[in-house]
Amino acid sequence: MAQFHDLEVTAIRHTIRDAVEVTLRPKGGDFTFVPGQYLTFRRDFDGDELRRSYSICSGGDDGVLQVGIKRVDGGAFSSFANTDLRVGDVLQAMAPQGRFRAKEATGPRHLLAFAGGSGITPILSILRTVLAREPDTRFTLVYANRAAATIMFREELEDLKNRHMGRFNVIHILETEQDIPLFEGRVDGAKCAALFRTWIDIDSVDQALICGPEPMMLAIRAALLDHGMDKDRITYELFGSGQPGRAKQRAAARAGGATGAELTITLEGTSRTIQMEPGQTILEAGLANDLAVPYACTAGVCSTCMCRVTAGEVEMARNHALEDYEVEKGYVLSCQSTPLTGAVSVVYEDH
């Protein structure tokens, strides 16, 4: 559980000024991945352990493990990866995780993907895999960026388009610099409606995949639902929400009314009962008691911290990772969960 493995950096390539594609050779662990999954890295920065998740961008049949890392303003890990990381360095990461993926193919199909900025990385992995494995499947990609210079993997997308003429179509939406008004601006509800009227036949789409910032994801999801696509055919992944300290701030805000609960955590078959501080999340309480509870984003996005409540009740502040049926079965995101009852028991299971 939450085990980190060494991976050697074998290549680093700048795809644009502020983004790198890092090729990794695992030195242990099982790094077989499903296209759409991500790796969670850990590294010490001035004595503080930082965990950051980056999606795999290589295809399932490419025979390499690559992640795309775009520099985020003030982001310690992404800045390090873009400026100081060298070939031969060793990084530590957990085995691939995440449930953002294309459904199993049952025949030729039409996939529609929306990506914002570095949200292209898991979609590129899915795109490469689907085009290679499914010769009759069509793929439409709507890719939103600020400007042409910030398009990660632009050449790779052009290359895929040329190699799969007629079944891979990419629509670049830029905030500025576009001659055609339809392709300029932000991808919001109105833009989706215009695209669905003129360029994309929603009725022909079997699954829609969305990866980008929350407002964009919510607008696209609402537009797809409005245009008749059912919820089960829309898959999304958020990014950019994992701000360190946010969970703590939320917990602190709630701390006034709460009283500390008794928490029993079962991890790798061993149970331990601890006393929670008022307002603490289950994850925070586990970490404060030196338990190796798994986590990555701490923002309710990735599901790394998922556990099952076996006694008592908890409240989740935010959930962008678990499906309704999982919540019904008692699964919660421990980074987002605070107790509603005086005693709570949870179990972390391997997934």
> By the criterion CB under 6 A, which residues form the site for ligand FES?
295-298, 300-305, 321, 333, 335
Taking the complex as a whole, the smallest distance from the CB of residue 159 to ligand FES amounts, in Å, to 33
48 vs 136, which CB is nearer to ligand FES? 48
Q: Which amino acid is at 199?
A: W
85 vs 316, which CB is nearer to ligand FES? 316
Give the pair of three-digit tokens for residue 199. Answer: 């360029």
Taking the complex as a whole, the smallest distance from the CB of residue 235 to ligand FES amounts, in Å, to 17
Q: Where are the alpha helices (DSSP H) in the chain?
A: 76-83, 120-133, 154-163, 189-198, 214-226, 246-255, 282-288, 324-328
Shortest CA distance to 120 belongs to which of 110, 128, 131, 108?
Answer: 128
Question: How many CA within 13 A on the CB side of residue 94?
Answer: 24
40 vs 58, which CB is nearer to ligand FES? 40
Taking the complex as a whole, the smallest distance from the CB of residue 185 to ligand FES amounts, in Å, to 31
38 vs 168, which CB is nearer to ligand FES? 38
Question: How many CA within 13 A on the CB side of residue 71?
Answer: 17
- Interatomic CA distance for residues 137 and 167, integer angstroms: 7
Taking the complex as a whole, the smallest distance from the CB of residue 192 to ligand FES amounts, in Å, to 27
174 vs 217, which CB is nearer to ligand FES? 217
Shortest CA distance to 256 belongs to which of 240, 274, 278, 226?
Answer: 278
Taking the complex as a whole, the smallest distance from the CB of residue 97 to ligand FES amounts, in Å, to 9
3-state secondary structure 258-295: CCCCEEEEEECCEEEEEECCCCCCHHHHHHHCCCCCCC
Taking the complex as a whole, the smallest distance from the CB of residue 81 to ligand FES amounts, in Å, to 20
21 vs 284, which CB is nearer to ligand FES? 284
- Interatomic CA distance for residues 93 and 37, integer angstroms: 13
